[in-house]
Amino acid sequence: MDYISLYKHFFTSKDNGKEVYESRFNSPSTIRFKITNKDYPFFVIINNEILRLTEQIYSLNSQIIKMVYADNRIPGIVVHWIIHHILIEEIRMTNEIEGVSSTRKEIKELLETTPPKHYKRLFGLVSKYSQLINNVSIDINDPIDIRKLYDSSMLKDIEKENPENIPDGEVFRKEAVEVDSGGKAIHTGINPESHIIQTMAEALNILNDEKLSLLVRVAVFHYLFGFIHPFYDGNGRMSRFISSAYLKKELDNLCALQLSVSCKMNQKQYYNSFQITNDIRNKGDLTYFVISFLEIILSGLNALKESIEEKISHYFYYRKIIFGLKSINSKHNALLDVLLQCTLFDTDNLTVEQLVQITDHSKATIKKWLSNAEIQPFLVIDRSKRQYRYALNLEAIDHFIEESTPDQN
């Protein structure tokens, strides 16, 4: 980042950054907001760094869309698995950032289950994220909408973990709250509740202001949600979900659901940008946070693109080998191809029933193929459950290729 925060200027300039503040606050490129940090109205400068990052994010979004959806060689089930894998990681990471434990297996099972009759941990949050990939539009227009979203996504979990953290005001919390780091209070959420409601309403006006760039208003709202801190618990998970829901309006599912993964990858930068912007010596300048937030998104998209590229490359490499195996007929090749897709892109191995659904062959046929002596060496079989689960043994294929390749010496 080239931009220097006013917090840093406070310590490095003779006038504690007053001249820089006046110049920035009164710049023609500055957007000023009604919400304040003490006596300082929040503002953001739409500078070249923000414009460049915005352009790079949209460019990467287009590249990822083209890479995943436009290549006719990639089976539809692979696209489905890629999206599901990313969704599971996003939910896992948003929990992990807040110290809430969740496993891939646990999340996957919740994604595949119907609404439970009794309480099931994390079901609310998982079902809300599931709505995003199923193209359910989530619009938040007033503070009541945020409370409804909170109640449906995490209230039951909060109540189970610690009933004292249930919101006790008309909409949000009634009492004061502090954000701690290392046992030290680093931020105090605003108070009283009437001020929380009023400020959140103004923050939502910013989020829904279509005159502003979507990426900028999402970044600004993301910060303001943390600054307001409307709940006793769950603020981070709630703000990241809302941010993803709005990013999805202009970015693909794959990219919108990379936010928590990106924040976890860059957790120090993520927290540091909050801490610097919260400090009164930063004088309400949100530009540093917006740039940092966009950098974090960009970093996550670069990592996502590299990961998908690598897996797709591996898929085509192993697929060529599979269909080149002369000892295996074409039907068995097709089965191994499905198992290859699962191994590279899914979070779990496949049961016989799942293979039946994917291949459109009978259960008896699939079982017969799986027991074939020619393909058995290339299978990974998980016998730990009643229903065996199958994947492809990539190491066995690599070993087979090594053994089949003539020694050049």
Mean pLDDT for 338-351 is 88
Decide if 150 contacts 144 (C-beta within 8 A).
no
What is the topology classification, in CATH, of domain 29-306? Fic-like fold (1.10.3290)
Confidence class of residue 306 from pLDDT cuts 50, 70 and 90? very high
pLDDT tens-digit profile of 15-69?
A: 999 999 999 999 999 999 999 999 999 999 999 999 999 999 999 999 999 999 9
Domain ranges of the chain: 29-306, 326-404
Quick one: three-class SS letters along 230-265? Answer: CCCCCHHHHHHHHHHHHHCCCCCHHHHCCHHHHHHH
Does the structure show a pLDDT above 90 at 235? yes
**Can you give the pLDDT at residue 119?**
87
Give per-residue pLDDT as tens, 119-169: 899 999 999 999 999 988 888 999 999 999 999 999 999 999 999 999 999
Q: Which residues sit in the known binding site for ATP?
A: 233-240, 270-271, 282
Residue 187 falls in the annotated catalytic set: no
- What pLDDT, on the 0 to 100 scale, is given for residue 183? 56
Fold agreement (29-306, 326-404): no
Share of the chain above pLDDT 70, in %: 97
Whole-angstrom Cα distance, residue 148 to residue 146? 5
- Please say if the pLDDT value at position 182 is more than 60: no
> What is the mean pLDDT of the segment spanning 295-300?
98
Q: Which pTM value belongs to this model?
A: 0.92
- The answer to whether domain 326-404 has CATH 1.20.1050.10 is no
Average pLDDT of the chain to the nearest whole number: 92
Candidates 229, 332, 361, 399; catalytic one: 229
Q: Which residues, at least 6 apart from 101, have a Cβ–Cβ distance to it below 8 Å?
A: 95
**Cα–Cα dist 96/236, whole Å:** 11
| Contact yes or no for 311/78 (Cβ under 8 A) | no
What residues does 36 pair with on adjacent strands? Answer: 41
Structure tokens at 354: 């799942």
Q: Are 321 and 397 in contact (CB under 8 A)?
A: yes
In this model, does residue 361 exceed pLDDT 70?
Answer: yes
